[in-house]
Amino acid sequence: MSSLPPSFNPHQFDIAVVGAGLIGKATALGLAQLGLSTVHIAPDLSQSSAAPAAGQWSQRIYAFSSSTQALLKKIQVWDALDLSRFQVVRDMRIFGDRQGPQDQLHFSAFEAGTAQLAWIGEANLIEQTLDQASRFQNKLERLDATVTQMTFAETEAKLTLDNQVEIRAKLVIGADGARSSIREFAGITAQHEDYQQSAVVANWNSDLPHLETANQWFLEGGDILAMLPLPGKQVSMVWSTSPENADALLKLNEAEWQLRFAELAQGAVHATLGNLRFNSVPAAFPLSKIRAARLIGPAQNPQVILVGDAAHVMHPLAGQGLNLGLRDVATLLQVLENRESFRLINDPLLLRRYERERQGDTSALLWVTDRLKKLFGAQSTFEQGLRNWGLGLVNRSHLLKRRLIHQALGENHFE
Ligand SMILES: Cc1cc2nc3c(=O)[nH]c(=O)nc-3n(C[C@H](O)[C@H](O)[C@H](O)COP(=O)(O)OP(=O)(O)OC[C@H]3O[C@@H](n4cnc5c(N)ncnc54)[C@H](O)[C@@H]3O)c2cc1C
């Protein structure tokens, strides 16, 4: 980690990337690999992700799609990952909240003609590999700082950091998450909806093998429980529930958890995985939906691009937030890489090109996850009948299932 000497102030870069989540790290590395002088700024950059310890598993377990694999391959990170810590998902089973024999949906990689539906693994494993690759990238400067102010001139933005250093960049990438201050500095408004739910996450050792299957149960009252397979006989749980129930769940001991699992979905969770023993301490995250009104700003003379949660936050029921964010990164790299030789990197036309290309994918995923969350949260008998009937109906359509799988994989076209 370098800290700039006072004489270095101000400093000029092609691009400033703000935010050190997985999205920010992938963006900064990818842009530097294009030969653009890039500064990566975040308060927590120096706390590089620790290497996962053997036998221990991080709580931040995600489902990664093929579009994520494609981007990580492009920036030469995928092949450096310890893939023995990733579990391939070959089947996905989704159960309705009526427990009728037809109220379920089964996706199979075999049926869709693809090798796997997803990979399940640790976010910090990828972040650590991105950190390592970034250290060898001489076009990339990393700064441990918070952006406190940003102003815009004709052809560049000026970022003031909390250590009083001033950075000038032709283009600023806001990868600073759901509460993005870069979004605010650029005058971009965002719609925010609190889902009044929290996700309780924990890893478990299971008695029964998971059979490379991700299971998700919609439960009465709007709760959603996902059990994602990890290497060996381990599963990662994401239980979306009311904030009150989340607080109560965090206080349970292992024996009390067993009782809760035994009664869930008429015993189906227990029947599928057997007894479950703690493999990590449970934690809870509040859930909301956020959508930025624009992906670029300020309106008159855009010099900022939003990626990842700074642009969109969705319910985790489809396990797609990070995958969608990495598709933003892939599009950004593609737009800059393929620009006409006469265009500067902050040509407004390029920024609009990025925004236009990201609209469809973002709108579709935000809409689908929001509708599913609300449909399964509705309490009327009519809606309960409708959603369970819908699961069975989709299950009987092989063509529709194939289409849904290819969309979830993040493939732009369907053959
Ligand atoms: C329970 C749960 C399960 C999920 N499961 C999945 C899944 O299976 N698959 C999937 O694809 N997605 C999943 N998601 C979504 C995923 O977690 C997010 O989409 C992803 O982490 C967003 O990454 P990000 O880098 O955009 O933001 P963040 O990870 O929030 O990173 C933001 C960064 O910006 C920095 N920052 C903030 N303010 C400033 C500032 N002023 N100056 C500089 N830096 C700043 C922060 O320090 C941080 O480093 C899940 C989400 C939840 C809640």
For residue 326, give both structure tokens: 């990495």
Question: Given a cut of 60, is residue 414 above it in pLDDT?
Answer: no
Residue-wise pLDDT for 347-366, tens only, equals 999 999 999 999 999 998 89
pLDDT per residue as tens digits for the range 46-66: 776 777 777 788 889 999 999
Q: Evaluate: CB of 238 within 6 angstroms of ligand 1.
A: yes
C-alpha distances out from residue 285 to 102, 177, 243, 292, Å: 32, 14, 9, 21
- Say whether pLDDT at 389 is over 90: no
- What was the pLDDT predicted at 338? 97
Atom of ligand 1 nearest to the CA of 23: 25
> For residue 19, is pLDDT > 70?
yes
Tell me the average pLDDT across 96-121.
85
Q: 277-291: per-residue pLDDT in tens?
A: 998 889 999 999 999
pLDDT of 6 over the 60 cut? no
Predicted TM-score (pTM) of this structure: 0.92
Q: Does ligand 1 come within 6 angstroms of the Cβ of 321?
A: yes
Instruction: List the single range of 45-54, 74-83, 220-229 with lowest mean pLDDT.
Output: 45-54
What are the CA-CA distances from residue 398 to residues 105, 106, 111, 216 (Å)? 11, 10, 8, 20
Measured CA to CA in angstroms, residue 34 lies from 29, 300, 332 at distances of 9, 27, 11
- Lowest mean pLDDT segment, chosen from 207-221, 267-281, 384-398: 384-398
Mean local confidence (pLDDT), 386-415: 68
Domains of the chain (ranges plus CATH)? Answer: 6-49+125-192+288-372 (3.50.50.60), 87-118+195-287+378-408 (3.30.9.10)
Q: How far is the CA of 33 from the centre of ligand 1 (A)?
A: 23
Give, using CA atoms, the residue closest to atom 40 of ligand 1: 146
